[in-house]
Amino acid sequence: MINDFVTKLVRKEALTSNVYLFEFSLVDQQKLEFIAGQYMLLKVDGQYRQFSIVTPENITDRFELVIELYEDGLASNFLKTCNIGDAVEFKGPAGVFTLHPTSREVVFLVTGTGIAPIKSMIETSLTKENSPIMHLYWGLRHLDDVYFAKSLMSIASQNSRLTVDICLSQETETHDFRSGRVNAIFKEDMDKKNTLDLNFDFYLCGSPRSVEGIYQSVIDLGVPSAQIFFEKFVKHG
Ligand SMILES: Cc1cc2nc3c(=O)[nH]c(=O)nc-3n(C[C@H](O)[C@H](O)[C@H](O)COP(=O)(O)OP(=O)(O)OC[C@H]3O[C@@H](n4cnc5c(N)ncnc54)[C@H](O)[C@@H]3O)c2cc1C
């Protein structure tokens, strides 16, 4: 159910030059009950902007968002000047981009801040007994764009049900990261396994352009559209 929330900003951390992590704690003993993958609507000057919840479902007294800040964005400008302790209003949770029960392995092909709902899905899923085997391919451009690498890789090292590949499209391969686009690297891995078995559920998230490109490449591999779920981070309006 969508509710109104008054929150307090408790953490604001630059992850890269233009991507920030914001943590909001709920006030008045409110609880946020949501399904991993859903988003919140941030209220600024009577308008709303959508941002996906990063934290897993079992955290209900606060939530984190990872937000790319734009020069001339309404929410971006508001968040840039927001200070720790400030009251911030939201509506939520909303959205239907959530994990579907499945007996198949799950492949996440995501770019940029599209990691936000996926991190919540992965962490939530791993707390459950029937968690599917999951493969995360996360695309960024440069080394400087990387965040969450340590925490994602540490989750993967403790869980045989998760693999993580961070794919940098504008860098050469390093020990920790792969070089290239997520869809190309996923295909390369399939080719290496020499398998035509594409019995996966795919979850795509990121900018509209990247989701559309990745969607087409997954379709081109022969995957039925019923096995592909996506969220496009369209800009408001
Ligand atoms: C379901 C959903 C979930 C989302 N979750 C997230 C999330 O977790 N993290 C996140 O960073 N974003 C997310 N987005 C995208 C975010 O809601 C938009 O980018 C939003 O418009 C930004 O608000 P703003 O007020 O800062 O900019 P606006 O005032 O909406 O836009 C003003 C200007 O900012 C620039 N701009 C804003 N957004 C974009 C964009 N996406 N691409 C290119 N230029 C842009 C343009 O110059 C635009 O003219 C999500 C979108 C959807 C639909």
Rounded to the nearest integer, the mean pLDDT of the chain is: 95
Domain match, 111 and 90 both: no
Burial of 224 (C-beta count, 10 Å sphere; 0-12/13-18/19+): exposed
How remote is the CA of residue 153 from the centroid of ligand 1, in Å? Answer: 27
Domain match, 110 and 173 both: yes
Q: Is 39 in the pocket of ligand 1 (CB under 6 A)?
A: yes
Domain match, 202 and 114 both: yes
Summarize pLDDT for 2-57 with one digit per residue, the tens.
999 999 999 999 999 999 999 999 998 889 999 999 999 999 999 999 999 999 99
Band the pLDDT of 196: cuts 50, 70, 90.
Answer: low
Summarize pLDDT for 133-157 with one digit per residue, the tens.
999 999 999 999 999 999 999 999 9
Average pLDDT (206-233) is: 96
Q: Which residue has the higher pLDDT, 77 or 236?
A: 77
Summarize pLDDT for 96-131 with one digit per residue, the tens.
999 999 999 999 999 999 999 999 999 999 999 889
Q: What share of the chain is helix, strand, coil (3-state, %, to 5)?
A: 25, 35, 40
Compute φ and ψ for 35, nearest 5 degrees: -110, 130
Query: With 70 as the cut, is the pLDDT of residue 59 above it?
Result: yes
Q: Report angle CA 123, 128, 132 to the nearest 5 degrees.
A: 80
Burial of 77 (C-beta count, 10 Å sphere; 0-12/13-18/19+): middle
Name residue, tokens 């900018």: 207
Domain match, 207 and 128 both: yes
- How many structural domains is the chain composed of? 2
Q: Does a structural domain hold residue 226?
A: yes
How remote is the CA of residue 74 from the centroid of ligand 1, in Å? Answer: 9
Residues 22/27/31/33 CA torsion (nearest 10 deg): -30
Residue nearest to atom 48 of ligand 1 (CA): 73
Domain match, 113 and 203 both: yes
The best mutation among 43, 70, 120 to test binding of ligand 1, ranked by most ligand atoms within 8 Å of the C-beta, falls on 70
Query: With 90 as the cut, is the pLDDT of residue 220 above it?
Result: yes
Q: Is 45 in the pocket of ligand 1 (CB under 6 A)?
A: no
Give the pLDDT score at 195: 65
How remote is the CA of residue 93 from the centroid of ligand 1, in Å? Answer: 17
Structural domain of 90: 3-94
Q: Is 110 in the pocket of ligand 1 (CB under 6 A)?
A: no
For residue 113, how many other CB atoms are within 10 A of its CB?
A: 24
Task: Return all residues near 127 (Cβ < 8 A) that are at least 6 apart.
Answer: 56, 58
How remote is the CA of residue 163 from the centroid of ligand 1, in Å? Answer: 29
Give the pLDDT score at 39: 98
Q: Does a structural domain hold residue 99?
A: no
In this structure, are residues 65 and 24 in contact, taking their beta carbons and an 8 Å threshold? yes
Q: Atom of ligand 1 at shortest distance to CA of 95?
A: 1
